[in-house]
Structure 1
Amino acid sequence: MASSAVIEAQGLGRRFGARTVLEGLSFEVHAGEVFGIVGPDGAGKTTLLQMLAAILRPSAGTCQVLGVDVRHRPSLVQARVGFMSQGFSLYDRLTVAENLAFAAAIRDVPQPALAPRKAELLAMAGLDRFQKRREGALSGGMRKKLALCANLIHEPPLLILDEPSLGVDPLSRRELWRILDRARAGGRTIVFATSYMDEADASDRVMLLSGGRPLALGPPGELRARAQGRVYQIKASKAAGLEDALQAQPKVISFQRRAGDELRVQMRDAAPPETVEGLTAEPAEPSMEDVFTVASAGPGPPPPESMRAALGTEAPAHRADRSVIDAAGVTRRFGDFTAVDAVTLSVRSGEILGLLGPNGAGKTTLIRILCGLLAPTHGRAQVAGFDVARESAEVRARIGYMSQRFSLYPDLTTRENLRFFARAYGVARDALDTRTRWAAQRTGLDADDQKTVAALSGAMRQRLALACAIVHRPEVLFLDEPTSGVDPLSRYRFWRLIASLAADGIGVVVTTHYLEEATFCDRLGLMMDGRMIAHGALSDLTQTLGLQRASVEDVFLGFIARERARAA
């Protein structure tokens, strides 16, 4: 092994029974390097990291970590690395200080070294003021930072992190990466898995994984160069006709609407897309999202049909341009804690509202109120014309809800899940086949697929969850981080489904931590500490801050900074 190689893998693979999860991985990671492993849920990222941390044994190939064979001396590898799983591995009944003390004890940190290390890590993570707070009372972002501190307490030369920023807000994500930057500056090697392409772009080298096999490996700049000439942008104030034209072209992999009346298009080869009259496609500089989209392109699902075409006379008669959500001064308190504080907002039929905010901002509590699951302490809210407090049953019958974890039944097939949710939403027995086939067709699924949900990819489970949420033809659709953990191509296709549902008159409320998805929304609601601190179209919010051509992250962080300055 080369002296600078911290990890060396050759022909690495892993099977679970007859199922091959990883196959044919060969790579090295060098001392002081930040190595990103990028791919959607089910790509094999967690399995690979667990093998590198000597938690799982390889089924094929060889792997040495810090000069030690993971198959023959796993305990020695485990003692020398810091492994942060998605599940945190913290104890919710222990305080911040107690969790760190426990992590130090099982890692044999000398007692004289504990106090200075703990003080340094807590200060770096901004957790020194919360040493006496129980882990279970921390926000998601704070728990992630504490988990990272627990894995740094024994000063390992190698950090292995499984999606460290998954499910945390952009502000917490920035703070988390500041800690990692300092760890790297201290000479540590970092290997991490992520589905965030901007994190991959900040790595020294990136491995793209799909279906357990490597798609590409190299520095981000080199990977972007491979996609050069296959990414285009088109300026179009009215994109409807153009999107139809792009959808019909076999050489178009995907396209996305961006801020500033721009469409971004990825192609299967270097030829530009055909456009409608008066519009020109200009070559664009590829991003890492473009790279993954180009590298993983395969045959896509058919374009979603309009709701009325799919259901004929059974199409929902949603009235155009009416208010489907009306909330005024909605407040919810739990004892002395105010989770939602005097929120006022409205959503019209056919409108997409993006709900953004840090972890603990009150987004989930607000959605539970609007779904009729939680009565407001003060204020009022109507959804689909019914009061959420007094007529909650009528509200729940007219909404669709898709949670981040999908809430599907893994042992049931696609058809069985659809029929179960249709009956739960009150669809009549004689309409079950019509409804389930429409929902499956609408989301690009095979209603007769006999595979269980457990055997489906993450992207297909995502589509099935959406189909189950719309099978009863709701007037309002709530989507809680619906694209978390899926690859860029699947996310873009999913957002086209959302847009097509909105075009048929469904009001949509969506939460997301992928801030670039805010450009797909008609309006945004930014929440912080239970309050709605900004509400409006992205262009209006940008102007309010006095910014020019700002990213969504700039707008998001700008309003948070302004709110904190007011509080100070």
Structure 2
Amino acid sequence: MIEVRGLGRRYGARTVLQDIAFDVAPGEAFGVVGPDGAGKSTLLQMLAGILRPSFGTGRVLGEDLRKHPDRVQARIGYMSQGFSLYDRLSVAENIAFAAAIRDVPRQAYAARKAKLVAMAGLERFEGRREGALSGGMRKKLALCANLIHEPPLLILDEPSLGVDPLSRRELWRILEAARGEGRSIVFATSYMDEADASDRVLLLRDGRPLALGTPTELRASARRRVYRVATAEPDALEGQLAASSAVLSFQKHSRTDYRVQTAEASPPAFAAATAIEAAEPDMEDVFTVASAEPGAGAAPALAQRRSGPADIVVAAEAVTQRFGAFVAVDHVDLEIRAGEVLGLLGPNGAGKTTLIRILCGLLAPSEGTARVAGFDVARQSEQVRSRIGYVSQKFSLFPDLTAGGNLGFFARAYGVPPSAMAERIAWASERAGFPIAEDALVRSLSSATRQRLALACAIVHRPKVLFLDEPTSGVDPLSRFRFWRLIAAVAAEGVAVIVSTHYLEEATYCDRLGMMMDGRMIGLGPLEALQRELGLADARVEDVFLGLIARERSKAVAA
């Protein structure tokens, strides 16, 4: 189906992809895994005949990518990250248009469409405009549009990016059905767990291959580099893990249980550990170990959290937001204290973004009250906005300004006095772990570096509350770990942090979780408390997430 050797792409003097070689067999699922900027989209666009290779050779469905890219385009199904549908057309109209331009025979169209719409669960929404669909529904509709002509090969660029775990599962059910019919699938993803759905995986970083093999082969390469560490002194152990040059990263799986990735294939030793045992690697571990540079290790140290009861800096009572007859946020009660990290989770359309907009003073609630940093979000929104920091999923930076230019702009916008500007920028850069020269243009920075710069810009005025909207979307596991250490360091200094995320394992870094669905807060508390509430001791965050959703649906059916 695909055969590439030495494939690469250059833009002027800059090489963005090189030394790519692999084959894809009929019926195979081939995952291209890596963070933003790794070269995944460039590779897939070359395979789809959209970009021509700068060097190397490639054949897709027997066609030469240099000589006949149009023949490749005509026979495959290609789903990009961005535009692939028409937002003013309905679900049915988008599918009909895709069928028409692909010359689907009229006598075959009705049966194919009915099958795909049923598989995607879109029967009730055929008349709805694409622009009015949730993110998960749009992804499923895009898959239907790319399957209507029954292509032998699907090329999908981050098909599950930005959708919740429930929608991800539904997307993968559609893809598994396509595989069952003999289609090959090549997909790019920054979700390491999706690599386990592949027959083989190509790990990319900075435009170069890190590793290629089956998930089993890749996991074997990380054995004796991943350990489970138990402790009765979590704070002491975290300090020892952070200070050790032998530790690449670590994750807190429960109050006393940690997962640790090491730089060398030998068991680590920590005074605060009560037990250390080898663990079976997963794909997160594989990427962390494969991408670690020589001498990597030691994480940013954390300040000691302030002792004593902390002030309540966010207080919401019966907050409700209506848009006409639609209730986006439904009587939400919430309190967050200084220095606390709250993870806000929920399916697409759950109301997370609307709630954050209310708490940021950008939207007055239809009912209820909310106070942030002591100010009413409806009546004192300007005072609220001057005391919060915000990092959006797209980082909210100006790409054609330098890093220093961005820091200066945000410092002035947040009202930092000119006399304090240099000191505040230096403080924020240090807290955010931003080491890059200030004269570098933002567009030239890696996604992980832009992420740290965005954090520095958001805290330069020393806010009371920090809002982070999917801050680690598209970054690799090692960068994600280091960014969460920075978040913890900011919280340790007394800043309340509210994080929205679809990457559920990040919930283990949070003090409490707020689970939302249909505008309601359906679960609120530490992960351990929610596990006990559902009778799911030691369950994964995803199981807790799905358990809460199932419980709410059962209540709705009973009512």
Structure-1-length-normalised TM-score: 0.95
What is aligned with 1:384? Answer: 373
What is aligned with 2:316? Answer: 327
Give how far 1:448 is off: 3.6
Query: Cα RMSD between the aligned structures?
Result: 1.7
The answer to whether the 8 Å contact 2:528/2:537 transfers is no
Moved more, 450-459 or 295-304: 295-304
- Is 1:166 the counterpart of 2:155? The answer is no
Change (3 A) 1:368 1:217: same
The answer to whether the 8 Å contact 1:53/1:81 transfers is yes
Give how far 1:519 is off: 1.0
What is aligned with 2:57? Answer: 62
- Is 1:364 the counterpart of 2:339? The answer is no
Listed as ranges, the matches of 1:338-357 within 5 Å are: 338-357=327-346
Listed as ranges, the matches of 1:82-121 within 5 Å are: 82-121=77-116
In structure 1, the gaps of 5 or more residues are 1-5, 310-316
The answer to whether the 8 Å contact 2:230/2:257 transfers is yes
1:165-214, CA deviations, whole angstroms, 9 ceiling, x for partnerless residues? 00000000000000000000010000000011111012110000000000
Give how far 1:244 is off: 2.0
Listed as ranges, the matches of 1:166-185 within 5 Å are: 166-185=161-180
What is aligned with 1:373? Answer: 362
Q: Secondary structure at the match of 1:279?
A: strand
Aligned-partner residue type, residue 59 of structure 1:
S
Match of 2:543 among 516, 530, 554: 554
Moved more, 534-543 or 438-447: 438-447
Give how far 1:259 is off: 2.5
What is aligned with 2:20? Answer: 25
Aligned-partner residue type, residue 7 of structure 1:
I
- Is 1:478 the counterpart of 2:467? The answer is yes
What is aligned with 1:407? Answer: 396
Aligned-partner residue type, residue 533 of structure 2:
T
User: Following the alignment from structure 1 to structure 2, what is the Cα–Cα distance between the partners of residues 132 and 481?
Assistant: 31
- Is 1:443 the counterpart of 2:432? The answer is yes
Aligned-partner residue type, residue 261 of structure 2:
Q
- Is 1:40 the counterpart of 2:35? The answer is yes
The answer to whether the 8 Å contact 1:319/1:505 transfers is no
Match of 1:538 among 527, 534, 538: 527
Aligned-partner residue type, residue 459 of structure 1:
A
Give how far 1:439 is off: 1.1
Give how far 1:21 is off: 0.5
The answer to whether the 8 Å contact 1:436/1:447 transfers is no
Listed as ranges, the matches of 1:55-454 within 5 Å are: 55-277=50-272, 279-298=274-293, 303-304=299-300, 321-446=310-435, 448-454=437-443
The answer to whether the 8 Å contact 1:320/1:350 transfers is no
Change (3 A) 1:100 1:26: same
What is aligned with 2:449? Answer: 460
The answer to whether the 8 Å contact 2:340/2:491 transfers is yes
State percent identity of aligned pairs: 67
User: Following the alignment from structure 1 to structure 2, what is the Cα–Cα distance between the partners of residues 180 and 245?
Assistant: 44
User: Following the alignment from structure 2 to structure 1, what is the Cα–Cα distance between the partners of residues 315 and 388?
Assistant: 14
1:407-440, CA deviations, whole angstroms, 9 ceiling, x for partnerless residues? 1011111111111111111101111111111111
User: Following the alignment from structure 2 to structure 1, what is the Cα–Cα distance between the partners of residues 373 and 58?
Assistant: 57
Give how far 1:533 is off: 1.1
Aligned-partner residue type, residue 548 of structure 2:
F
Q: Secondary structure at the match of 2:486?
A: helix
User: Following the alignment from structure 1 to structure 2, what is the Cα–Cα distance between the partners of residues 238 and 364?
Assistant: 36
Aligned-partner residue type, residue 233 of structure 2:
K
The answer to whether the 8 Å contact 2:232/2:273 transfers is no
What is aligned with 1:314? Answer: none
User: Following the alignment from structure 2 to structure 1, what is the Cα–Cα distance between the partners of residues 275 and 535?
Assistant: 30
User: Following the alignment from structure 1 to structure 2, what is the Cα–Cα distance between the partners of residues 88 and 170?
Assistant: 22
User: Following the alignment from structure 1 to structure 2, what is the Cα–Cα distance between the partners of residues 137 and 489?
Assistant: 36
In structure 2, the gaps of 5 or more residues are none
User: Following the alignment from structure 2 to structure 1, what is the Cα–Cα distance between the partners of residues 316 and 44?
Assistant: 45
What is aligned with 1:520? Answer: 509
User: Following the alignment from structure 2 to structure 1, what is the Cα–Cα distance between the partners of residues 437 and 272?
Assistant: 41
Aligned-partner residue type, residue 42 of structure 2:
T
User: Following the alignment from structure 1 to structure 2, what is the Cα–Cα distance between the partners of residues 15 and 453?
Assistant: 21
Aligned-partner residue type, residue 445 of structure 1:
F
Structure-2-length-normalised TM-score: 0.97
The answer to whether the 8 Å contact 1:304/1:441 transfers is no
The answer to whether the 8 Å contact 1:82/1:159 transfers is yes
User: Following the alignment from structure 2 to structure 1, what is the Cα–Cα distance between the partners of residues 273 and 297?
Assistant: 29
Change (3 A) 1:418 1:320: farther
Change (3 A) 1:40 1:159: same
Give how far 1:251 is off: 2.1
The answer to whether the 8 Å contact 1:307/1:442 transfers is no
Give how far 1:87 is off: 1.0
The answer to whether the 8 Å contact 1:318/1:475 transfers is no
What is aligned with 1:491? Answer: 480
User: Following the alignment from structure 1 to structure 2, what is the Cα–Cα distance between the partners of residues 43 and 496?
Assistant: 23
Change (3 A) 1:301 1:440: farther
User: Following the alignment from structure 1 to structure 2, what is the Cα–Cα distance between the partners of residues 543 and 160?
Assistant: 42
User: Following the alignment from structure 1 to structure 2, what is the Cα–Cα distance between the partners of residues 48 and 169?
Assistant: 26
Q: Secondary structure at the match of 2:274?
A: coil
Change (3 A) 1:303 1:251: closer
Give how far 1:40 is off: 0.2
Aligned-partner residue type, residue 38 of structure 2:
A
The answer to whether the 8 Å contact 2:234/2:255 transfers is no
Aligned-partner residue type, residue 97 of structure 2:
F
User: Following the alignment from structure 2 to structure 1, what is the Cα–Cα distance between the partners of residues 527 and 189?
Assistant: 27
1:55-90, CA deviations, whole angstroms, 9 ceiling, x for partnerless residues? 000000000001100110111100110000011410
What is aligned with 1:313? Answer: none
